[in-house]
């Protein structure tokens, strides 16, 4: 039997259901591993006592014959999902020590399915960043090479799964923050269609873009988690989609019409946007992606050349719309009702200024200023309205592409993970790293990253798959079929000794 930390969500659930191991044993093993590798910075709040108590309760339920899908499986949550029993800081000093009176819907639904939590995972402050270097608490290190970033903003989630600290984790994706860290850390992650997962209880960055999703070792693990994270939540989230829940695990095993055992993707049309394979793509990442595409064709898929002509415009459009929404969302953190309040101030205006200057980090302040600027009188029409019009055109480009293909494939990021501090003084370089993920988010489409090989420095490379609205089943089926024929998702970093990441 493989080591417990090597199990994914689905395998852990199977072992627990068959009573090969108890939830307490699994949780204790993962707690020991988390403690050994705490220097990675993956957790901002580690809750071993709470997790063990939940594991003992899960064992009682398992012993009584209960069969909830995730009963006793240890997960952890990105620190932008509010939780009643643990603090939620969104990686910011502004919310230091904050504890919510309720659970986020995504957290509650996973709990209802029986999952337990080991704690809250580190992230870029208010989910703003591409490298997880903007957390107010600590850097997160990539377990494949601790001198490199894990990606952001869900870097803590990606690092924790890759290092075997948890079976799976929740993440959020505003412009690529599930897919890019999943690629950098060699795990699987999916951003669902906008509105498929409730945003209730998720600390807001950009409300028209933010979306929760699972991060785990495999497509099967993501399917298990996503099946319980989704569903209407109209009483709490007006953007929640009123669509029926889907059993994504069953969709993994639903054969395509006419497919055979050796050609499970027969008839699948895979679109390759020419804009994703231009001069900005590094040679090593392109090589790994090309090998993955060859694997898809060996499994029966057909590659189709397509175009997403406004891909380059996604960067300026995103960095107008997202900061604009952030400046509005973060205005609530003023030191009055909750959040950091400056100790010394002269009047109300001085309190606002000092509290926000002390509570928000440099990247958050930068985006608030950009957002306030593009929404100001005289610039609203020139910037914000124009960006929204181009956003609609970007979405139309995707719909035109889906007339020619079933899924779209390409790289997740132009390069493998870069060194810690390498881009700290160049925010634009960080923004450019999201070139292949932003357009999908602007269009509200589902997208995922699937481990697909290694590039420079033996660092992981992810294959991005993008589907049409509410077509997560096709993405997961494609990814699962690919993972049945490859073992990239089974590779794990060789952390030399406990504490090596310190």
**What's the pLDDT tens digit per position in 350-405?**
999 999 999 999 999 999 999 999 999 999 999 999 999 999 999 999 999 999 99
The predicted pLDDT at position 284 comes to: 98
The predicted pLDDT at position 430 comes to: 82
- Checking if the pLDDT of 496 tops 70, the result is no
- Residue range 26-61, pLDDT digits in tens: 999 999 999 999 999 999 999 999 999 999 999 999
The predicted pLDDT at position 501 comes to: 41
pLDDT mean over 280-303: 98
- Checking if the pLDDT of 497 tops 50, the result is no
The predicted pLDDT at position 337 comes to: 84
To the query of whether residue 153 is one of the catalytic residues in this protein, the response is yes
What percentage of the chain exceeds 70 in pLDDT?
A: 98
* Higher local confidence (pLDDT), 426 or 249: 249
Given the residues 22, 23, 54, 78, the one annotated as active site? 78
- Checking if the pLDDT of 241 tops 80, the result is yes
Spatial separation of the C-alpha atoms in residues 178 and 155, rounded to whole Å: 8
The predicted pLDDT at position 502 comes to: 37
Spatial separation of the C-alpha atoms in residues 440 and 398, rounded to whole Å: 8
The predicted pLDDT at position 267 comes to: 96
Given the residues 54, 100, 135, 153, the one annotated as active site? 153
Q: Where are the beta strands (DSSP E) in 396-446?
A: 407-411
The predicted pLDDT at position 392 comes to: 98
To the query of whether residue 240 is one of the catalytic residues in this protein, the response is no
Given the residues 100, 135, 177, 355, the one annotated as active site? 177
Strand-pair category, 447-454 with 460-466: antiparallel
The chain-wide mean pLDDT, for the chain, equals 95
* Domains of the chain, start order: 77-103+122-161+168-264+404-490 (3.90.1300.10)
SS3 category, 278: coil
The predicted pLDDT at position 14 comes to: 97
The predicted pLDDT at position 494 comes to: 76
- Residue range 250-265, pLDDT digits in tens: 999 999 999 999 999 9
The predicted pLDDT at position 279 comes to: 85
The predicted pLDDT at position 1 comes to: 57
The predicted pLDDT at position 495 comes to: 59
Q: Which helix (H) or strand (E) holds 328?
A: helix 314-329
Tokens of 163: 């290092």
- Checking if the pLDDT of 499 tops 60, the result is no
pTM of the model: 0.96
CA torsion angle 12 18 23 29 (round to 10)? -60
To the query of whether residue 78 is one of the catalytic residues in this protein, the response is yes
DSSP conformational letter for 192: P
């Amino acid at each position: 039997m493989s080591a417990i930390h090597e199990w994914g969500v689905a395998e852990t659930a199977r072992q627990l259901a068959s009573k090969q191991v108890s939830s307490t044993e699994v949780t204790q093993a993962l707690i020991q591993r988390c403690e050994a590798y705490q220097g990675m910075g993956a957790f901002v709040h580690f809750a071993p006592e709470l997790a063990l108590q939940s594991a003992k309760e899960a064992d009682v339920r398992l012993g009584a014959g209960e069969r909830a899908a995730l009963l006793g499986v240890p997960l952890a949550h990105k620190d932008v999902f509010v939780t009643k029993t643990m603090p939620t800081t969104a990686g910011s000093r502004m919310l230091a020590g904050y504890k919510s009176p309720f659970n986020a819907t995504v957290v509650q639904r996973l709990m209802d399915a029986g999952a337990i939590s080991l704690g809250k995972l580190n992230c870029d402050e208010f989910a703003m960043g591409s490298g997880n270097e903007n957390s107010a608490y600590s850097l997160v290190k990539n377990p494949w090479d601790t001198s490199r970033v894990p990606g952001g903003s869900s870097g803590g989630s990606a690092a924790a799964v890759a290092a075997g600290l948890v079976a799976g984790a929740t993440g959020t994706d505003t412009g690529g923050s599930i897919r890019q860290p999943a690629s950098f850390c060699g795990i699987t992650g999916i951003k669902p269609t906008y509105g498929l997962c409730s945003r209730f209880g998720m600390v807001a960055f950009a409300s028209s873009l933010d979306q929760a999703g699972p991060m785990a070792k495999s497509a099967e693990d993501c399917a298990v988690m996503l099946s319980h994270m989704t569903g209407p939540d109209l009483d709490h989230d007006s953007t929640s989609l009123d669509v029926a829940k889907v059993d994504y695990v069953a969709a993994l095993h639903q054969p395509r019409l006419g497919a055979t055992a050796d050609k499970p993707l027969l008839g699948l049309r895979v679109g390759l946007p020419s804009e994703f394979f231009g001069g900005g793509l590094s040679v090593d990442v392109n090589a790994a992606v090309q090998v993955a595409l060859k694997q898809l064709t060996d499994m029966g898929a057909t590659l189709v050349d397509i175009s997403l002509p406004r891909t380059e415009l996604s960067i300026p459009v995103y960095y107008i719309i997202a900061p604009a929404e952030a400046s509005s969302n973060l205005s609530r953190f003023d030191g009055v009702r909750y959040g950091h309040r400056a100790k010394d101030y002269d009047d109300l205006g001085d309190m606002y200024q000092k509290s926000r200057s002390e509570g928000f980090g440099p990247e958050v302040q930068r985006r608030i200023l950009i957002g306030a600027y593009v929404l100001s009188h005289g610039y609203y029409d020139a910037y914000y309205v124009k960006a929204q019009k181009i956003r609609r055109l970007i979405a139309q480009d995707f719909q035109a592409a889906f007339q020619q293909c079933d899924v779209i494939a390409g790289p997740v990021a132009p390069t493998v993970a870069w060194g810690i501090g390498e881009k700290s003084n160049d925010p634009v370089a960080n923004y450019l790293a999201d070139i292949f993920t932003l357009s999908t988010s602007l269009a509200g489409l589902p997208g995922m990253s699937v481990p697909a090989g290694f590039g420079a420095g033996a660092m992981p490379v992810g294959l991005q798959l993008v589907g049409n609205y509410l077509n997560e089943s096709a993405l997961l089926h494609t990814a699962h079929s690919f993972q049945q024929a490859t073992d990239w998702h089974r590779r794990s970093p060789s952390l030399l000794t406990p504490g090596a990441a310190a």
